[in-house]
Amino acid sequence: MAPTKHPLDLISPAEISRAVEVLRAQYSDQKLRFKLVDIYDCPKAEVIPYLEAERLGRALPPAPPRRARVYFHLSDPYLLYKARVDVTAGKVETVTSLENIQGPVDFDEWTEVEHACNTHPDVLKEIELLKLPKGARIVNDPWAYGTDDSAERRRLFQCYVYIVLNDDPEANHYSLPAPFSPVFDAITKELLWIDHLPLGDGTEAETTRPWEPVNAVEYSANLLKDPFRTDLKPLQVQQPQGPSFEVDGRNVSWQKWKFNLGWTMREGPVLQNVTYDGRNTFYRLSFSEMTVPYGDPRTPYHRKQAFDLGDAGLGMMSNSLKLGCDCLGSIKYFDGYRTAADGNVVAMPNVVCMHEVDAGIGWKHTNFRTGTTSVVRNRQLVVQCTATVANYEYIFAFILDQAAAIHFELRATGIVSTMPIRKGTKVPWGTNVAPGVMAANHQHLFNIRVDPAIDGHDNTVIYEDHVPAGPEDEDPFGCAFKVAETTITKAGGYTLDVEKTRVYKIQNPSILNEVSGKPVAYKLHAMPSQMMIMKPNTFNAKRALFASKPIWVTKYQEDELYAAGEFTNQSRVDTGLGVWATRDDDVKNTDVVLWHSFGLTHVPRPEDFPVMPQEMMSISLKPSSFFTQNPSNDVPRSTQAINKSTLVESLCHKL
């Protein structure tokens, strides 16, 4: 077993086992059921001296203790506990019981509910009513139940049911949605009721009748009848001297960047202690939450609101990536670990991949007088994972480049959530993507958390608007424009403004750039998006205040990591930014955190079916007066000798 090497490293199998052991010893008279055992981030005050000594090449102080975050149940399956365990000393630091809080979904319970739904006599009776063809079977995906006005306190799953007409395990069940949806109690496995899904254009639900046959729409190659394209020639990325990165445990070095690659069940990959050329830039960068509310008003769709990080976990749902399918070139993989309900550690191999990409030209100037060209290519480092959340896929990536920018790149792909609809019917709440299949309107709303350390930990967030010269300026021709700067002094939610190109910057006000005279900073290239459409008094909105505004600024407090709060499953209120951003905190020139919410309003199209071509979202953090010149000026110039491109015979019309 390789020991943990760095204070910021993800939790190790040994540490998971230690936490489990310590809690079992503490509750030796009870049976523990584990929901989550993961790293509990070292408090900043404890670890920053260590990181600074590292950065400056000084003697290292003793490493701070390592801690685990544990969610678990004791004998009472209805009461969730949260513990913080010092796994270095082997002692429990805190335990809190969480009344009326539902923990995230875990694989074990999910599988039990799936099975209960597939085998329950009343469910089988409904299937009988469908009068399915011979050889047909059903599949169901249990969903976190969501929230509505009913003050529901049980732990429930809404099982969406689909039909498969054959026994091929790769059949696309999403293309044949069934017209009923059982609701199960996750603890007792009781069937509480069966929702009947509306099949017409109104709200009425109907009792289950014989299924109207339609053809499935397949995506798995073995099930497709039409020929594949034959004219796609191979394209390979070769790195004959290997990749340019170096890896020491979970510490990565690449093109003046250094960072520790963290990983949690909730967030997947996390970039920690990010420095460029030995300078502090960001303490912690992460995907913080996402929510996917559906815009069909009819029961049970109003409850359909996935919180794919909080309810389940980006890390937990990450694919085990396969060499050569997901990424080209020289690929390094990183593993993760999860804990089964019985406390055993389960390895999750290859949940994060890392590799370089050539993204075209980085910068270029041609001296037109001589024809001499200076070109530098845009080499990037990609740290990526793919999470499969039943039907949908989300590909999350951090991308670093040689001009000292960091990009968050998110691609939505996979399969839209489908509902049955009577043939010949249309609804304003979604699009028919196949005969008998409607995909409801929904939004994908994401939040990223940026914990900066711009040349130090006391930073200020400002925003800059680009505005015409004012009456105080001499502007005889009416053509001048300048920057109007606003300092964010209080925690809260803030807006973007495309018509002023409003740009948020994180500055270190104590350090001025010697060339521009401005404070060293990083700027956020945000993605202005429609915020959550659901009205503020809906549970959709109340559970996810992060999705009401694009920018949030809070004062750093330990363990405030998840935009909608620590526990989102069946939540009734936002315990994250909804609380932290309403504290009357001063956020100027202090340990500040910036959050950005963005997303897509998705009205599905037939082209999104059976699997959706990736829709990409990209956010960037770029240096702004952080350097005195282009930081990639020292990248070796692009030459054919190195790049070895091939000329396809030219068609030159000779004169």
Residues 9-38 that bind its own copies (CB under 8 A): 12-13
Q: What 3-state class would DSSP assign to 417?
A: coil
In the bound state with its own copies, the residue whose beta carbon lies nearer, of 119 and 372, is 372
Q: Which of 276, 392, 463, 562 is catalytic?
A: 392
326: annotated active-site residue: no
**Sites for its own copies among residues 405-444 (CB under 8 A):** 405, 411, 413-415, 426, 428-429, 431-435, 441
Among 468, 490, 558, 582, indicate the residue that binds its own copies (CB under 8 A).
468
DSSP H/E element including 96: strand 91-98
Three-class SS of residue 509?
strand
**Tell me, what DSSP letter sits at residue 312?**
I
Among 166, 501, 557, 590, binds its own copies (CB under 8 A): 501
Q: Tell me if residue 14 falls in helix, strand or coil.
A: helix
Q: Which stretch binds its own copies (CB under 8 A): 27-35, 183-191, 587-595, 626-634?
A: 626-634
∠ CA 534-531-535, rounded to 5°: 20
Q: Which of 169, 210, 471, 584 binds its own copies (CB under 8 A)?
A: 169
- Please report how close the Cβ of residue 334 comes to its own copies at its closest, in angstroms: 7
- Residue carrying the six token digits 């940026």: 450
CB of 37 to its own copies, least distance (A): 14
Decide: is 610 part of the binding site for its own copies (CB under 8 A).
yes
CA angle centred on 161, ends 182 and 311, rounded to 5°: 75
Q: Are 471 and 450 in contact (CB under 8 A)?
A: no
Tally of CB atoms within 10 A around 284: 24
> In terms of CB distance, is 28 or 150 closer to its own copies?
150
Count CB atoms within 10 A of the CB of residue 509.
Answer: 16
For its own copies, which residue of 24, 332, 583, 588 counts as binding (CB under 8 A)? 332
Helical packing angle, 107-119 and 121-130, nearest 10°: 60
- Reduce the DSSP state of residue 360 to 3 states and report it: strand
Pick one of 19, 163, 285, 404: the residue that binds its own copies (CB under 8 A).
Answer: 404
- Evaluate whether 315 touches 336 at the Cβ level (below 8 Å): yes
Q: Residue 199, interface with its own copies (CB under 8 A)?
A: no
Residue 331 touching its own copies (CB under 8 A):
yes
CA distances from 162 to 116, 182, 199, 207, 520 (A): 15, 12, 14, 17, 55
Residue closest to 141 by CA, chosen among 165, 124, 121, 162: 162
Yes or no: say if 285 and 42 are a contact pair by the CB < 8 Å rule. no
Q: How far is the CB of 425 from its own copies (least distance, A)?
A: 10
> Does the active-site annotation cover 392?
yes
User: Segment near its own copies (CB under 8 A), from 205-213, 389-397, 454-462, 560-568?
Assistant: 389-397
Among 30, 100, 166, 374, binds its own copies (CB under 8 A): 374
Question: CA neighbours within 13 Å on the CB side: how many for 269?
Answer: 31
Nearer to its own copies, 75 or 639 (CB): 639
The CB-of-395 to its own copies minimum distance in angstroms stands at 6
Q: Does residue number 319 form part of the binding site for its own copies (CB under 8 A)?
A: yes
* Binding track over 119-158 against its own copies, x by CB under 8 A: --------------------x--------xx---------
Residues 545-574 that bind its own copies (CB under 8 A): none
621 part of the interface to its own copies, by CB under 8 A: no
CA–CA distance, 443 with 529 (Å, rounded to integer):
11
Report how far residue 286's alpha carbon sits from residue 289's, in angstroms, rounded to the nearest whole number: 9
From 153, 365, 423, 490, residue interacting with its own copies (rule: CB under 8 A): 365
Nearer residue to its own copies within complex by CB, 100 or 501: 501
Structure-derived torsion over alpha carbons of residues 42, 47, 50, 53, reported in degrees to the nearest 10: 140
Residue 219 contacts its own copies per CB under 8 A: yes
Binding mask 67-106 for its own copies (x = CB under 8 A): ----------------------------------------
Give yes or no for a contact between 129 and 208, defined as CB atoms under 8 angstroms apart: yes
Q: Quick one: which of 136, 192, 341, 611 contacts its own copies (CB under 8 A)?
A: 611
Contact 255, 248 (CB under 8 A): no
Cα 15 from Cα 23, distance rounded (Å): 12
**469 is a site residue for its own copies (CB under 8 A):** yes
If residue 345 lies in a helix (H) or strand (E), which one and from where to where?
strand 345-367
Per-residue contact flags (x/-) with its own copies for residues 230 to 259, judged by CB under 8 A? -xxxxxxxxxxxxxx--x-x-----xx---
Whichever of 75 and 495 has its CB closer to its own copies, that residue is: 495
58 versus 637: smaller Cβ distance to its own copies: 637
Tell which one of 166, 515, 557, 590 touches its own copies (CB under 8 A): 515
- Whole-number Å distance between alpha carbons of 524 and 282: 13
CB of 150 to its own copies, least distance (A): 11
Work out which of 154, 466, 572, 583 binds its own copies, going by CB under 8 A. 466
CA dihedral 222→228→231→235, nearest 10 degrees, is -40
Query: Nearer to its own copies by C-beta: 582 or 633?
Result: 633
Q: Which residue in the list 308, 311, 574, 585 is annotated as catalytic?
A: 308
Closer residue to its own copies, CB minimum distance, 28 or 241: 241
Asked if 198 and 210 touch (Cβ cutoff 8 Å), the reply is no
Q: Which two tokens stand for residue 6?
A: 């760095």
Q: How does DSSP classify residue 146? A: -
Which residue lies nearer to its own copies by CB, 248 or 586?
248
Beginning with the edge strand found earlier in the chain, give each strand of the sheet holding 80-86 in spatial order.
Answer: 33-40, 67-73, 80-86, 91-98
Q: Which is nearer to its own copies, 246 or 559 (CB)?
A: 246
**The dihedral of CA 471, 473, 475, 479: what is its sign?**
negative
Supply the residues annotated as catalytic: 308, 392
